[in-house]
Amino acid sequence: MPLFLLSVALLAWSAYSDARPQPLSENAELVRKKARQRLMTSVKQRTANVPLTPEQKRREAEQKRAIRQQNREMLAMHPRWSPGSVDALWERALDDKPAALPHAAKLRTVLQRLQKQLGKPYVWGGKTPDEGFDCSGLVFYAYNAVLERKLPRTANEMYNANHLQSVRKDKLKNGDLVFFKISQRPGADHVGVYLGDDKFIEAPRTGLNIRISQFSADFWQSHYLGARRILSEKAAL
């Protein structure tokens, strides 16, 4: 009897051993690994060839436009920038390093908002494109859109604002405010925004339109009070 049981046990063990999965040889494992790699490559290629949906195309186009706009805004703050010359700076960008100013986009926005108002009539007390502008209303509209610390409303209040940097006449830069005293009242009663190249933009007076004027003209120089800088590298905006 014991011999019979031993024989049965040996037969059962032999059958179990034959039924167990045997470990793969090294060659078989390599073949299996390469097959997995080919399968993954095929899946990636099929995914890459799937055409973009209209919504994906729209988002991709918007991202590209945003990048181009950001680059243009940085170039706009190049020291040699003047109105209408931004496109030319693209050709010179490799020759000169543009100034890396943190307020580039803000100043660019201000100058664009100002230039869009050219030709509109002066309106006393106006401060929006719909109602029109007086001199300080034009500055108020253009700058306060990008400032955390807002400008006051009148030319004299802007001129006396303690947080604005005083600027010498020979150090004027694009975006600086230039102030004048035209009437007999004390203080500043007219303001414009300097654009470089001896030009500034202003809303002159009733009967005239918003325009670009020559800063060095005798009239303006005889009534000039001073200048203030709103956007500067050190300013906390």
Residues classed as catalytic? 135, 190, 202
Tell me the three-class secondary structure of 125-164, residue by residue: CCEECCCEECHHHHHHHHHHCCCCCCCCCCHHHHHCCCCC
What is the Cα–Cα distance from 30 to 12, expressed in whole angstroms? 34
Roughly how many angstroms between the first and final C-alpha of the chain, as a whole number? 100
Share in percent of the chain as helix, strand, coil (round to 5): 45, 15, 40
> Could you give phi then psi for residue 12, rounded to 5 degrees?
-65, -40
> Could you give phi then psi for residue 62, rounded to 5 degrees?
-65, -40
Give CA torsion, residues 218, 220, 224, 226, to 10 deg: -120
